[in-house]
Amino acid sequence: MQLRLFHLSMKPNNNKKNGKNSSFDPQVFLDTAGISRKIAEYRRGESVFAQGDAADSVMYVQQGGVKFSVVNGSGKEAVVAMFGPSDFFGEGCMAGQAVRMGTATAITPTTILVMEKNELLRVLHSQHELSDHFIRYMLAHNIRVEEDLVDQLFNSSEKRLARTLLLLARYGKQDQPIRILPKVSQETLASMVGTTRSRVNFFMNKFRKLGFIEYNGKIKVNKSLLTVVLHE
Amino acid sequence: MQLRLFHLSMKPNNNKKNGKNSSFDPQVFLDTAGISRKIAEYRRGESVFAQGDAADSVMYVQQGGVKFSVVNGSGKEAVVAMFGPSDFFGEGCMAGQAVRMGTATAITPTTILVMEKNELLRVLHSQHELSDHFIRYMLAHNIRVEEDLVDQLFNSSEKRLARTLLLLARYGKQDQPIRILPKVSQETLASMVGTTRSRVNFFMNKFRKLGFIEYNGKIKVNKSLLTVVLHE
DNA sequence: AATTGACTGTTCTCTTTTGCACATTCTTAG
DNA sequence: CTAAGAATGTGCAAAAGAGAACAGTCAATT
């Protein structure tokens, strides 16, 4: 049983959100500094690290997508975040977390740059562009997590599902009123929204009847209609 | 009506959590760099900034305590975080947030160092100790918020209240099995836990009957007993 | 001492949400 | 093509929580 996705930070395929700096790649900075780093490839479903593993490296997604989930004592699972190209994850070890707080799993074929935490810390001092990118990522990540918290606190599961669908829709084709979502099961949606599958099923059918979404396998979202749900 | 405290990051009065670096003070770095910064004083209840205000500065708490809360369309309020000495807040503007996402209010007499965001960004490049401190704060803040999210997702309001009381107990005298909490109303507790006051009252009396806490005005927490609540 | 306002104790009803259970419909590996 | 495993569609009883109302307590002010 899964519970809740804290936030979606998987980005659309444009790295050009900063105007300049569109082709930022930490690897070149690590190369010039002669830093220990390696590139790892994962297949769909493969685990990058598991909850409880020793933590001494920071990951940087070059290609693909990764979900980060936490399991509690009762076996419930919550999808805490999803990461895409140019996202860092596993950076908690830099603040002294000795073990991984959750499990990172590739959801598509994924290429990851693995950096030893102490060396990354050191390089951040000398490589301003890397440092800027890292800080910017951290700030954005913070904002995202806090937004998810606010969503969780203020809104019902119906609204949270609507919001989650709209967030997922960002990764479909851009600038179209109707977006096709990446393939996700209702079970996964439940873990993203923070509710049960039966609840997700109920609302999905409700949204469908109202014409806010349609699906036969691929989920299609009518953004403007679904947005109405968010405003009561 | 209030809703939910995302996390408590108000620290006990020891700045020595990093072993070295116990007397870190960003002000000296700003001084040496000739940066525009000012020191502001606030009385209890005074607002540092309000939701919707233009955002172009970052705050650093020197003394006191600040609560950060968000109000939604229906007038519900959630206490998103509490900040204490050596915490930054309002740093979202560094990631492009143009307005404040919530209201910051002093909860005790408070001294705050205000830094213009662009100048702070610039100084982070040249002042490694400030940069380290900032990054460490960001990472710790992230971890804290994610822990709150996990707590919110996995636990009932009863457990969340127990956890909140234990967190608040950290600010009482150290190393004693029974701690006295700072004065908080049940209304405020409700906003910290993310539930209603009647619910808080119900559980507070339950905890009291079970001997986990006692109060006549001051709330006293028996840590080891209350911790039991967290583990079912 | 009386009044005011904030906080607490208590109760009750109405929703929302969970937790199951089970049938049905896809998918896919063999 | 077919059987097995996933994913989906329903329904329902029980639990948890929201919201609101109201009386009692306490502290501070005038």
Given a cut of 80, whether residue B71 has pLDDT beyond it is yes
Q: What strands, in cross-sheet order, belong to the sheet with B37-42?
A: B37-42, B110-116, B57-63, B88-89
Is A20 part of the contact surface with chain B (CB cutoff 8 Å)? no
Query: Is strand D in 7 Å reach of the CB of A216?
Result: no
Reduce the DSSP state of residue B115 to 3 states and report it.
Answer: strand
Say how many C-beta atoms besides its own lie within 10 A of residue A172's C-beta.
Answer: 18
Residue type, A103: T
Give per-residue pLDDT as tens, A53-102.
999 999 999 988 888 888 887 778 888 888 888 889 999 999 989 999 99
- pTM reported for the whole predicted model: 0.82
Q: Which of B74-78, B93-97, B227-231 has the lowest mean pLDDT?
A: B74-78
Using the CA of B189, give the nucleotide whose C1' is nearest.
Answer: C7
Nearest-CB residue to A153 (from B97, B135, B194): B194
Reduce the DSSP state of residue B27 to 3 states and report it.
Answer: helix
Q: Copy the structure tokens of residue A34.
A: 């002669």
Query: Is strand D in 7 Å reach of the CB of A15?
Result: no
Q: How far is the CA of B202 from the C1' of C12 (A)?
A: 14
Q: What is the largest CA-CA distance in chain B?
A: 58
Supply angle C-alpha A155, A161, B70, rounded to 5: 25
Contact A92 B153 (CB under 8 A): no
From chain B, the residues in CB contact with A131 under 8 A are 124-125, 131
Residue type, A153: L
Question: Rounded mean pLDDT of B139-151?
Answer: 89
- Distance in angstroms (rounded) separating the CA atoms of residues A146 and A158: 19
* pLDDT value of position B28: 72
Query: In this prediction, what percent of chain B has a pLDDT beyond 90?
Result: 32
- The residue ranking higher by pLDDT, B18 or A198, is A198
- For every residue of A8-58, DSSP letters joined together read E-PPPS--GGGSS-TT--HHHHHHHTT--EEEEEE-TT-EEE-TT-B--EE
Question: Rounded mean pLDDT of B121-147?
Answer: 89
Give per-residue pLDDT as tens, A219-229.
889 988 888 88
Residues 6+ apart with CB under 8 A from A47: A103, A104, A105, A106
From chain A, the residues in CB contact with B154 under 8 A are 3, 72, 76, 78
Query: In this prediction, what percent of chain A has a pLDDT beyond 70?
Result: 83
Given a cut of 70, whether residue A159 has pLDDT beyond it is yes
- For every residue of A118-172, DSSP letters joined together read HHHHHHHHH-HHHHHHHHHHHHHHHHHHHHHHHHHHHS-HHHHHHHHHHHHHTTS
Q: pLDDT band for position B105 (50/70/90)?
A: confident
Q: What strands, in cross-sheet order, belong to the sheet with B103-106?
A: B7-8, B77-83, B66-71, B103-106, B47-49
Nearest-CB residue to A6 (from B101, B131, B146): B146
Give per-residue pLDDT as tens, B92-102.
999 989 999 99
Task: Tell me the nearest-neighbour CA distance from B196 into chain A, angstroms.
Answer: 12
- Distance in angstroms (rounded) separating the CA atoms of residues A96 and A56: 9
Is A133 part of the contact surface with chain B (CB cutoff 8 Å)? no
Q: Quote the distance between the C-alpha of residue A157 and its chain's center.
A: 20
Judge contact between B84 and B10, C-beta under 8 A: yes
Reduce the DSSP state of residue A3 to 3 states and report it.
Answer: coil
Contact B142 A138 (CB under 8 A): yes
Nearest-CB residue to A141 (from B80, B124, B142): B142
Q: pLDDT band for position B110 (50/70/90)?
A: confident
Q: Which of A136-140, B5-9, B114-118 has the lowest mean pLDDT?
A: B5-9
* Pick from A149, A48, A49, A30: nearest CA to A106: A48
DSSP state letter for B17: G
Residue spans of alpha helices (H) in B155-181: 157-169
End-to-end CA distance of chain A: 29
DSSP state letter for A185: -
Q: Quote the distance between the C-alpha of residue A180 and its chain's center.
A: 18
- Distance in angstroms (rounded) separating the CA atoms of residues B200 and B195: 7
* pLDDT value of position B188: 87
Contact B153 A124 (CB under 8 A): no
Using the CA of A209, give the nucleotide whose C1' is nearest.
Answer: D9
- Distance in angstroms (rounded) separating the CA atoms of residues B138 and B85: 15
Contact B153 A91 (CB under 8 A): no
Given a cut of 60, whether residue A133 has pLDDT beyond it is yes
From chain B, the residues in CB contact with A138 under 8 A are 135, 138-139, 142
Give per-residue pLDDT as tens, A165-219.
988 887 555 567 777 777 788 998 998 888 999 999 999 999 999 989 988 778 8
- For every residue of A88-120, DSSP letters joined together read EE-GGGGGT--B-SSEEEESSSEEEEEEEHHHH
Contact A139 B142 (CB under 8 A): no
Chain B residue closest to A138 (CA)? B138
